[in-house]
Protein backbone atom coordinates (compact mmCIF):
# COMPACT_ATOMS: atom_id res chain seq x y z
CA UNK A 1 0.00 0.00 0.00
CA UNK A 2 2.90 2.35 0.72
CA UNK A 3 4.88 1.54 -2.41
CA UNK A 4 5.31 4.49 -4.76
CA UNK A 5 2.94 6.65 -2.75
CA UNK A 6 2.97 10.32 -3.84
CA UNK A 7 4.57 12.92 -1.61
CA UNK A 8 2.23 15.47 -0.08
CA UNK A 9 2.16 18.77 1.75
CA UNK A 10 1.41 17.65 5.32
CA UNK A 11 0.00 21.02 6.46
CA UNK A 12 -2.26 21.24 3.42
CA UNK A 13 -3.49 17.69 4.08
CA UNK A 14 -4.31 18.59 7.68
CA UNK A 15 -6.37 21.59 6.59
CA UNK A 16 -7.95 20.24 3.39
CA UNK A 17 -7.97 16.43 3.56
CA UNK A 18 -10.72 15.93 0.96
CA UNK A 19 -9.04 18.26 -1.54
CA UNK A 20 -5.64 16.61 -1.06
CA UNK A 21 -7.15 13.14 -1.52
CA UNK A 22 -8.59 14.11 -4.93
CA UNK A 23 -5.25 15.61 -5.95
CA UNK A 24 -3.44 12.41 -4.93
CA UNK A 25 -5.83 10.00 -6.63
CA UNK A 26 -7.80 11.90 -9.31
CA UNK A 27 -9.05 8.70 -10.92
CA UNK A 28 -10.31 7.10 -7.73
CA UNK A 29 -13.95 5.99 -7.73
CA UNK A 30 -16.27 6.11 -4.75
CA UNK A 31 -19.33 4.00 -3.97
CA UNK A 32 -22.21 5.11 -1.78
CA UNK A 33 -23.81 2.54 0.50
CA UNK A 34 -27.48 3.44 1.00
CA UNK A 35 -29.09 3.16 4.43
CA UNK A 36 -25.80 2.38 6.14
CA UNK A 37 -26.76 3.58 9.57
CA UNK A 38 -28.28 6.34 11.69
CA UNK A 39 -27.19 9.64 13.15
CA UNK A 40 -23.49 10.30 12.55
CA UNK A 41 -23.34 7.14 10.39
CA UNK A 42 -26.28 7.89 8.15
CA UNK A 43 -24.15 8.03 4.98
CA UNK A 44 -21.29 5.67 4.08
CA UNK A 45 -18.86 5.98 1.19
CA UNK A 46 -16.24 3.43 0.11
CA UNK A 47 -13.25 3.55 -2.22
CA UNK A 48 -10.42 1.21 -3.20
CA UNK A 49 -6.87 2.60 -3.27
CA UNK A 50 -3.76 0.51 -3.98
CA UNK A 51 -5.80 -2.67 -3.55
CA UNK A 52 -7.08 -1.68 -0.12
CA UNK A 53 -10.66 -0.67 0.65
CA UNK A 54 -11.31 2.46 2.73
CA UNK A 55 -14.58 3.91 3.96
CA UNK A 56 -15.99 7.03 5.62
CA UNK A 57 -19.26 7.64 7.46
CA UNK A 58 -21.09 10.82 8.44
CA UNK A 59 -24.37 12.64 9.02
CA UNK A 60 -24.12 14.11 5.49
CA UNK A 61 -22.44 13.02 2.27
CA UNK A 62 -19.91 15.82 2.68
CA UNK A 63 -18.94 14.57 6.14
CA UNK A 64 -18.72 10.97 4.89
CA UNK A 65 -16.32 11.99 2.08
CA UNK A 66 -14.27 14.06 4.53
CA UNK A 67 -13.97 11.11 6.91
CA UNK A 68 -12.97 8.86 4.00
CA UNK A 69 -10.15 11.30 3.17
CA UNK A 70 -9.01 11.39 6.79
CA UNK A 71 -8.96 7.59 6.96
CA UNK A 72 -6.80 7.30 3.83
CA UNK A 73 -4.38 9.99 4.99
CA UNK A 74 -4.17 8.48 8.45
CA UNK A 75 -3.37 5.01 7.13
CA UNK A 76 -1.02 6.03 4.34
CA UNK A 77 0.69 9.11 5.82
CA UNK A 78 0.07 8.76 9.58
CA UNK A 79 -1.66 12.18 9.77
CA UNK A 80 -3.77 12.59 12.92
CA UNK A 81 -4.40 16.22 13.86
CA UNK A 82 -6.74 17.50 11.14
CA UNK A 83 -8.10 21.03 11.49
CA UNK A 84 -11.41 20.36 9.70
CA UNK A 85 -11.18 23.50 7.55
CA UNK A 86 -13.20 21.59 4.92
CA UNK A 87 -16.35 21.83 7.02
CA UNK A 88 -15.91 25.36 8.32
CA UNK A 89 -18.91 27.64 7.57
CA UNK A 90 -18.75 29.30 4.16
CA UNK A 91 -21.75 31.54 4.76
CA UNK A 92 -22.14 34.81 6.60
CA UNK A 93 -22.81 34.71 10.31
CA UNK A 94 -26.51 34.51 11.02
CA UNK A 95 -28.50 35.37 14.09
CA UNK A 96 -28.69 32.66 16.72
CA UNK A 97 -32.42 32.23 16.13
CA UNK A 98 -32.04 31.66 12.38
CA UNK A 99 -29.12 29.29 12.94
CA UNK A 100 -31.18 27.33 15.43
CA UNK A 101 -34.05 26.98 12.95
CA UNK A 102 -31.71 25.47 10.33
CA UNK A 103 -30.58 22.67 12.63
CA UNK A 104 -31.94 19.13 12.44
CA UNK A 105 -35.14 18.78 14.57
CA UNK A 106 -33.54 16.13 16.80
CA UNK A 107 -30.61 18.48 17.40
CA UNK A 108 -32.93 21.39 18.18
CA UNK A 109 -34.77 19.32 20.76
CA UNK A 110 -31.50 18.11 22.31
CA UNK A 111 -30.20 21.69 22.64
CA UNK A 112 -33.42 22.77 24.33
CA UNK A 113 -33.90 19.85 26.73
CA UNK A 114 -30.69 17.80 26.76
CA UNK A 115 -30.67 14.10 26.00
CA UNK A 116 -34.18 13.05 24.93
CA UNK A 117 -35.25 9.40 25.15
CA UNK A 118 -37.27 8.01 22.22
CA UNK A 119 -39.20 4.75 22.42
CA UNK A 120 -39.62 3.34 18.90
CA UNK A 121 -41.64 0.15 18.33
CA UNK A 122 -42.91 -1.59 15.22
CA UNK A 123 -46.71 -1.52 15.10
CA UNK A 124 -47.38 -2.90 11.62
CA UNK A 125 -45.83 -5.68 9.55
CA UNK A 126 -42.95 -7.95 10.51
CA UNK A 127 -39.24 -8.26 9.73
CA UNK A 128 -39.90 -9.51 6.19
CA UNK A 129 -42.97 -7.39 5.49
CA UNK A 130 -42.91 -4.92 2.61
CA UNK A 131 -45.19 -2.48 4.43
CA UNK A 132 -44.01 -1.58 7.90
CA UNK A 133 -45.04 1.09 10.35
CA UNK A 134 -43.21 2.29 13.45
CA UNK A 135 -44.49 4.30 16.39
CA UNK A 136 -42.23 6.68 18.33
CA UNK A 137 -43.03 8.14 21.75
CA UNK A 138 -41.11 10.61 23.89
CA UNK A 139 -41.97 12.33 27.16
CA UNK A 140 -40.69 15.85 27.83
CA UNK A 141 -41.59 17.85 30.92
CA UNK A 142 -44.30 15.33 31.75
CA UNK A 143 -46.03 15.59 28.36
CA UNK A 144 -46.07 12.69 25.91
CA UNK A 145 -45.55 13.16 22.18
CA UNK A 146 -46.23 10.42 19.64
CA UNK A 147 -45.83 9.97 15.89
CA UNK A 148 -45.73 7.14 13.34
CA UNK A 149 -43.68 6.54 10.20
CA UNK A 150 -42.73 3.90 7.65
CA UNK A 151 -39.23 3.66 9.13
CA UNK A 152 -37.79 4.10 12.61
CA UNK A 153 -35.98 7.27 11.57
CA UNK A 154 -39.09 8.87 10.06
CA UNK A 155 -41.16 8.08 13.15
CA UNK A 156 -38.46 9.54 15.40
CA UNK A 157 -38.12 12.67 13.25
CA UNK A 158 -41.87 13.28 13.23
CA UNK A 159 -41.99 12.77 16.99
CA UNK A 160 -39.28 15.41 17.48
CA UNK A 161 -41.07 17.83 15.13
CA UNK A 162 -44.32 17.39 17.02
CA UNK A 163 -42.60 18.16 20.33
CA UNK A 164 -40.83 21.20 18.85
CA UNK A 165 -44.11 22.67 17.60
CA UNK A 166 -45.21 22.90 21.22
CA UNK A 167 -41.98 23.37 23.15
CA UNK A 168 -39.59 25.53 21.16
CA UNK A 169 -39.55 29.25 21.95
CA UNK A 170 -42.05 31.16 19.87
CA UNK A 171 -41.23 34.47 18.25
CA UNK A 172 -43.29 37.45 19.28
CA UNK A 173 -45.46 37.76 16.21
CA UNK A 174 -48.48 39.70 17.40
CA UNK A 175 -46.78 43.01 16.54
CA UNK A 176 -46.14 41.97 12.95
CA UNK A 177 -49.57 40.56 12.13
CA UNK A 178 -51.71 42.74 9.89
CA UNK A 179 -55.10 42.86 11.61
CA UNK A 180 -56.63 44.71 8.66
CA UNK A 181 -56.66 41.37 6.79
CA UNK A 182 -59.25 38.69 7.33
CA UNK A 183 -58.34 36.54 10.37
CA UNK A 184 -58.95 33.27 8.50
CA UNK A 185 -56.33 34.15 5.88
CA UNK A 186 -53.78 35.03 8.56
CA UNK A 187 -54.62 31.89 10.54
CA UNK A 188 -53.99 29.54 7.62
CA UNK A 189 -50.68 31.25 6.81
CA UNK A 190 -49.48 30.81 10.40
CA UNK A 191 -50.78 27.26 10.88
CA UNK A 192 -50.52 25.71 7.42
CA UNK A 193 -50.58 22.10 8.63
CA UNK A 194 -53.56 22.47 10.98
CA UNK A 195 -56.69 20.59 9.98
CA UNK A 196 -60.04 21.65 11.42
CA UNK A 197 -62.36 18.70 12.04
CA UNK A 198 -65.98 19.43 11.16
CA UNK A 199 -69.11 17.62 12.34
CA UNK A 200 -72.78 18.39 11.82
CA UNK A 201 -75.45 17.54 14.39
CA UNK A 202 -79.18 18.09 14.70
CA UNK A 203 -79.92 21.11 16.86
CA UNK A 204 -82.04 20.67 19.99
CA UNK A 205 -82.89 24.38 20.21
CA UNK A 206 -83.88 25.31 16.65
CA UNK A 207 -84.75 24.15 13.14
CA UNK A 208 -81.19 24.45 11.82
CA UNK A 209 -78.43 21.91 12.33
CA UNK A 210 -75.35 22.83 14.34
CA UNK A 211 -71.80 22.78 12.97
CA UNK A 212 -69.05 21.81 15.41
CA UNK A 213 -65.42 22.69 14.68
CA UNK A 214 -62.43 21.25 16.53
CA UNK A 215 -58.65 21.49 16.10
CA UNK A 216 -55.48 20.84 18.09
CA UNK A 217 -52.97 23.64 17.57
CA UNK A 218 -49.57 23.76 19.30
CA UNK A 219 -50.78 21.18 21.80
CA UNK A 220 -53.97 23.05 22.72
CA UNK A 221 -57.50 22.01 21.79
CA UNK A 222 -59.95 24.54 20.36
CA UNK A 223 -63.68 24.05 19.78
CA UNK A 224 -66.49 26.20 18.40
CA UNK A 225 -70.04 25.73 17.14
CA UNK A 226 -72.78 27.61 15.31
CA UNK A 227 -75.78 26.98 13.10
CA UNK A 228 -73.71 28.62 10.36
CA UNK A 229 -70.64 26.72 9.10
CA UNK A 230 -68.57 29.83 8.32
CA UNK A 231 -69.31 31.39 11.70
CA UNK A 232 -68.35 28.23 13.57
CA UNK A 233 -65.04 28.10 11.73
CA UNK A 234 -64.35 31.79 12.27
CA UNK A 235 -65.09 31.52 15.99
CA UNK A 236 -62.46 28.79 16.32
CA UNK A 237 -59.96 30.89 14.37
CA UNK A 238 -60.53 33.97 16.55
CA UNK A 239 -60.17 31.93 19.73
CA UNK A 240 -56.90 30.35 18.57
CA UNK A 241 -55.41 33.66 17.43
CA UNK A 242 -56.19 35.27 20.76
CA UNK A 243 -54.83 32.47 22.95
CA UNK A 244 -51.81 31.52 20.84
CA UNK A 245 -50.76 34.88 19.39
CA UNK A 246 -52.27 37.34 21.86
CA UNK A 247 -54.53 39.10 19.36
CA UNK A 248 -57.91 40.05 20.88
CA UNK A 249 -60.90 39.36 18.66
CA UNK A 250 -61.82 43.04 18.64
CA UNK A 251 -58.47 43.87 16.97
CA UNK A 252 -59.60 42.55 13.58
CA UNK A 253 -60.80 45.50 11.54
CA UNK A 254 -62.77 43.87 8.73
CA UNK A 255 -65.21 41.63 10.63
CA UNK A 256 -68.36 42.39 12.58
CA UNK A 257 -67.90 40.60 15.92
CA UNK A 258 -71.56 41.03 16.87
CA UNK A 259 -72.58 39.23 13.70
CA UNK A 260 -69.93 36.52 14.14
CA UNK A 261 -71.10 35.56 17.62
CA UNK A 262 -74.84 35.87 16.93
CA UNK A 263 -76.73 32.79 15.72
CA UNK A 264 -79.64 34.14 13.73
CA UNK A 265 -82.82 32.10 13.46
CA UNK A 266 -84.20 31.64 9.93
CA UNK A 267 -87.23 33.58 8.78
CA UNK A 268 -90.58 31.82 8.51
CA UNK A 269 -90.20 31.58 4.72
CA UNK A 270 -86.64 30.22 4.96
CA UNK A 271 -87.72 27.64 7.53
CA UNK A 272 -90.64 26.57 5.32
CA UNK A 273 -88.35 26.28 2.31
CA UNK A 274 -85.93 24.17 4.38
CA UNK A 275 -88.69 21.80 5.51
CA UNK A 276 -90.04 21.53 1.96
CA UNK A 277 -86.57 20.71 0.62
CA UNK A 278 -86.11 18.00 3.25
CA UNK A 279 -89.51 16.47 2.39
CA UNK A 280 -88.68 16.46 -1.33
CA UNK A 281 -85.33 14.84 -0.57
The tens digit of pLDDT for each residue in 246-277 reads 999 999 988 999 999 988 766 544 445 544 54
Confidence category of residue 97, pLDDT binned at 50, 70, 90: very low
Confidence category of residue 99, pLDDT binned at 50, 70, 90: low
As its CATH architecture, domain 10-87 has 2-Layer Sandwich (3.30)
Instruction: Flag whether pLDDT at 23 surpasses 60.
Output: yes
Are the CB atoms for 263 and 190 separated by under 8 Å? no
**Phi, then psi, of 54 in degrees rounded to 5:** -120, 155
Residue span(s) of the chain under CATH 3.30.160.20 come to 10-87, 99-167, 183-269
Q: Name every residue whose Cβ is closer than 8 Å to that of residue 183 and which is 6 or more positions away in sequence.
A: 234, 237, 238, 241, 252, 255
**Residue of 150, 149, 156 whose CA lies nearest to 129:** 150
Q: DSSP label at 55?
A: E
Question: What does the pLDDT look like over 187-229, one tens digit per residue?
Answer: 988 888 888 999 988 766 666 788 999 999 988 899 999 989 9
Task: Please state the rounded mean pLDDT for residues 81-110.
Answer: 59
Instruction: Flag whether pLDDT at 133 surpasses 70.
Output: yes
Instruction: Tell me the pLDDT of the chain averaged across its residues.
Output: 80
Q: Name every residue whose Cβ is closer than 8 Å to that of residue 56 and which is 6 or more positions away in sequence.
A: 44, 45, 63, 64, 65, 66, 67, 68, 69, 70, 71
Task: Please state the rounded mean pLDDT for residues 13-37.
Answer: 82
Query: What dotted CATH number matches 183-269?
Result: 3.30.160.20
Q: Write down the pLDDT at residue 153.
A: 87
Q: Write down the pLDDT at residue 241.
A: 93
- At the topology level, CATH places domain 99-167 in Double Stranded RNA Binding Domain (3.30.160)
Confidence category of residue 135, pLDDT binned at 50, 70, 90: very high
Amino acid sequence: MFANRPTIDIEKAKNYPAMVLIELFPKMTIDWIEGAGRGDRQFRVESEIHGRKFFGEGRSKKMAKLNLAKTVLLCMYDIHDFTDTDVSPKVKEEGSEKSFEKKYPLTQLKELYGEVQYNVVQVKGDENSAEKEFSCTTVIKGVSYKAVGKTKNIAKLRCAKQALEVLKPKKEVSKTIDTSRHPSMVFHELFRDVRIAETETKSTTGPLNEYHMEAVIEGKRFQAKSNNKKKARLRLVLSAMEKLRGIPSKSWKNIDLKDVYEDKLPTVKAAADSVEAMQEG
